[in-house]
Amino acid sequence: MTRKQRYQYVIEYFKKNAPDAETELIYDNPYQLLVAVILSAQCTDKRVNLTTPAIFEKFPDVASLSQTDFEELFPFIRSISYPNNKTKHLIGMAKMVMDDFKGEIPMTVEELIKLPGVGRKTANVITSVVDQQPNMAVDTHVYRVSKRIGLVPQTASTPLAVEKELIKNIPTELVHRAHHWLILHGRYICVARNPRCEVCGLRKICQYFHKLNGGIPFD
């Protein structure tokens, strides 16, 4: 099987079985999503969703968040991983959005990564989810799943390398959706330890599964 054929199989599978895949973070607008994604680094979406309602009630917009200080915000995210850094990042992000972007969340990767607490992965999430831009956020799930299946070569050793391979091979209009396909597959099926191959609909073309069972479907 060629890599092109593998991509075709994977895309058709997810279009049929997960046509409406989307982020599991709960948000109402770009500001709320940005806060949630910053908090979600090395933290579960479930925990973030339990935490953000109180934050959004106290700080309903970026302007109000920009006016707070560490002592006021910290208690709201104490239960989140790395709360000290994330508290500082959220306040710094809000201040920069107010000062440099007139209170509007920017919607390009280049602008977003200027904000405290926002790296390329977060910027890709925001632009793909809010604006459906063809940007691929590569988190630990996307990285693992795409390499296990064989969508990217094992030599793609960095998130950026994996991102470029996926962007190159997935139709532009599907990139924003494919991001969620791979994340959710990695979160619930192709988990890091003891992947649930017995219930995986992709095992027929998965290099990892075939390797475990004595044969690798080389390109």
Residues annotated as catalytic (active site), given as ranges: 121, 139
Q: How far is CA 13 from CA 34, 54, 57, in A?
A: 30, 38, 40
- The position carrying tokens 């793609």 is 156
Q: How far apart are CA 117 and CA 105, in angstroms?
A: 14
Residues 178/14, Cβ–Cβ less than 8 Å: yes
Interatomic CA distance for residues 193 and 214, integer angstroms: 20
Residue 3 one-letter amino acid: R
- Coil, helix or strand at residue 79: coil
- Coil vs helix vs strand at 184: helix
Asked whether residue 43 is marked as a ligand-binding residue, the answer is no
Radius of gyration of the chain (CA): 19
Q: How far apart are CA 205 and CA 134, in angstroms?
A: 25
Distances (CA, A) of 27 to 17, 89, 144, 162, 183: 24, 19, 27, 28, 18
**Could you tell me which residues are annotated as the binding site?**
190, 197, 200, 206
**Could you tell me which residues are annotated as the binding site for [4Fe-4S] cluster?**
190, 197, 200, 206
